[in-house]
């Protein structure tokens, strides 16, 4: 284990070494995203998962890899970059795929000094707290786009939970309540939580402030308001302007710290954010599994 590794092992989940939770760390330390999570349990209307080398956005990776391949990717990344974080951010829902937990087991065994991080829609978070604690996951990002079920029905096409599919306001209400419950339990269990909110001006602009206030009260550490990328069922929607983003962040900052350097990374991103190697072009392949 190198010097940096021993330092990270000694300190518990140092956020000053996490480029997605600390702006100071953003251009200094690297992360490796491991695309092991294929399936998803909700249908976000702004999401279009894809296997390709051309698109630079969430929900995209070159391919889905196995936990064993993920371990190899971590080892290779550490040889090339100053990697401090191993994360799972899809391209599907991290907590809905057994491969996520097997990958974290392997990382804990072979790279115990790394911060383990995951992104989730929060639907299953409250059910997985004990397992994530056992695997020594340190940081969790939960994407929360509304507190209002009517608005949620405009954002989510369906929610699959316990073998049943919920749609419209019923599905949105279920997701909203389970997100709040999951974040509250995660904070009490000692996880550091970031809230991601996709700003869709024509849909949820009025919700952003309420999300900041609600999740600050629940104990979330930081909020990351990111612009809509117009794809899938929201390809005709307008993304927010820089001014709208700034306005939203400024309104929320009195309640919760704002992260302003997010690059909306691919599910297989690797390296120091903004300094990754460019990949060769390839043809997109979209999937819905």
Burial group, residue 190, by CB count within 10 angstroms (0-12, 13-18, 19+): exposed
Q: Show Cβ contacts of residue 39 under 8 Å, excluding neighbours closer than 6 positions.
A: 92, 93, 96, 97, 289
The CA distance from 198 to 207, in Å, is: 11
Cα→Cα distances 163→38, 41, 92, 159, 239, Å: 18, 10, 17, 10, 34
Q: What is the pLDDT of residue 278?
A: 56
pLDDT, tens digit, for every residue of 159-214?
999 999 999 999 999 999 999 999 999 999 999 999 999 999 999 999 999 999 99
Cα–Cα distance between 59 and 118 in angstroms, integer? 14
Q: How would you write 152-177 as a 3-class SS string?
A: HHHHEEEEEECCEEECHHHHHHHHHH
- Please give the structure tokens belonging to residue 222: 């930081």
What pTM value is reported for the model?
A: 0.90
For tokens 């507190």, name the residue. 147
Residue whose token pair is 């698109």? 55
Residues 6 or more apart in contact with residue 119 via CB below 8 angstroms: 87, 88, 89, 90, 94, 140, 141, 142, 143, 196
- Taking only the tens place, the pLDDT of each residue in 214-261 is 999 999 999 999 999 999 999 999 999 999 999 999 999 999 999 997
What structural domains does the chain harbor? Answer: 3-286 (3.20.20.70)
Tens of pLDDT, residues 116-168: 999 999 999 999 999 999 999 999 999 999 999 999 999 999 999 999 999 99
What is the rounded CA–CA span in Å between residue 37 and residue 35? 6
**Token match 């999570």: residue?**
37
Predicted confidence band at 8 (pLDDT cuts at 50, 70, 90)?
very low
């Amino acid at each position: 284990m190198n010097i940096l590794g021993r330092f990270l092992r000694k300190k518990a989940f140092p956020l000053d070494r996490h480029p997605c939770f600390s702006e100071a760390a953003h251009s200094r330390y690297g992360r490796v995203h491991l695309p092991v999570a294929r399936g998803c349990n909700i249908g976000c209307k702004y999401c279009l998962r894809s296997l390709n080398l051309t698109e630079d956005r969430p929900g995209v990776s070159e391919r889905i890899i196995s936990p064993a391949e993920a371990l190899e990717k971590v080892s290779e990344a550490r040889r090339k970059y100053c990697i401090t974080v191993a994360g799972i951010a899809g391209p599907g829902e991290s907590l809905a795929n057994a491969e996520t937990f097997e990958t974290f087991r392997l990382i804990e065994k072979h790279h115990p000094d790394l911060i383990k991080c995951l992104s989730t829609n929060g639907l299953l978070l409250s059910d997985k707290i004990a397992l994530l604690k056992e695997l020594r996951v340190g940081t969790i990002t939960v994407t929360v786009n509304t507190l209002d079920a009517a608005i949620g029905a405009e954002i989510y096409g369906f929610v699959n939970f316990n073998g049943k599919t919920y749609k419209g306001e019923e599905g949105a209400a279920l997701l909203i309540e389970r997100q709040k419950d999951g974040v509250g339990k995660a904070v009490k269990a000692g996880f550091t939580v970031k809230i991601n909110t996709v700003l869709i001006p024509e849909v949820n602009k009025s919700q952003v402030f309420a999300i900041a206030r609600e999740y600050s009260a629940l104990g979330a550490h930081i909020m990351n308001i990111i612009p809509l990328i117009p794809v899938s069922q929201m390809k005709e929607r307008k993304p927010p302007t820089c001014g709208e983003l700034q306005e939203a962040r400024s309104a929320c900052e009195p309640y919760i710290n704002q992260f302003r350097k997010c690059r909306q990374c691919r599910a297989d991103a690797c390296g120091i954010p903004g300094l990754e190697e460019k990949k060769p072009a390839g043809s997109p392949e979209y999937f819905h599994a």
